[in-house]
Structure 1
Amino acid sequence: MMAIEVQTFGDVFDAISDTPAEAANLKARADLLSAVKAQVESWKVAQGAAATRLGITRPRLNDLLQGKLEKFSLDALVNLAAASGLVLEMKFAAAA
């Protein structure tokens, strides 16, 4: 009988990342994307109007609304959060 190695992770980003830094970047991007998406959806306006308000193209807005995380850098998401009227707050804690 072959032994199976079981690994446990704090979350999916820890599981799919090669380093803690990569996992932290993915987590921050996912949180920002989710917040901007919720903000844009709360406007209840056409995609063209939302894209104009954010200063991006409609295809780029569509990527955001579909949650295509790989298409957005942390920098781009910070800029979109500001353009959407969100205030970014950062919190830091020592690693467990």
Structure 2
Amino acid sequence: MSKQRFASVWDAIEDTPEEAENMKLRSTLMMALKNHLTRTEMSQAQAAKLFGVTQPRISDLMRGKINLFSLDALVNMATAAGLHIEMRVLEDA
């Protein structure tokens, strides 16, 4: 058994570094949206109306169904929620 260490679970389970980075970003956005909806006590119906999606789509978000969401869709939802997104791009050391 390999004792290889990974910086992130996504690095371990995704096939390529590109896929792992995409999943890390999607995961971060999904957690931020879920936390925002929980903190504001917004109902799924209210969130759906605000984001321009269906209530079942919000249910998928709240249940962490990450494979159902593109990075673009999550950015759009975060912006509609009034969240500000910042991104840093770093070169490997």
Same fold (TM over 0.5): yes
Matched, 1:71 2:68: yes
Runs of at least 5 residues in structure 1 that lack an aligned partner in the other structure: none
Greater C-alpha radius of gyration: 1
Distance 1:45 1:5, change over 3 A: closer
The alignment of Structure 1 onto Structure 2 pairs a total of residues equal to: 93
TM-score by length of 1: 0.90
SS in 1 for 2:72: helix
Deviation at 1:6, TM superposition (A): 2.3
Root-mean-square deviation (CA, aligned residues, Å) is: 1.1
Percent identity among equivalent residues? 46
Matched, 1:45 2:42: yes
Matching of residues 8-47 of structure 1 within 5 Å: 8-47=5-44
What is the one-letter code of the residue matched to 1:85?
G
TM-score by length of 2: 0.92
Runs of at least 5 residues in structure 2 that lack an aligned partner in the other structure: none
What is the one-letter code of the residue matched to 2:18?
A
Alpha-carbon distance between aligned partners in 2 of 1:15 and 1:26, rounded to the nearest angstrom:
12
Give the equivalent residue in structure 2 for 1:91. Answer: 88
Deviation at 1:41, TM superposition (A): 1.5
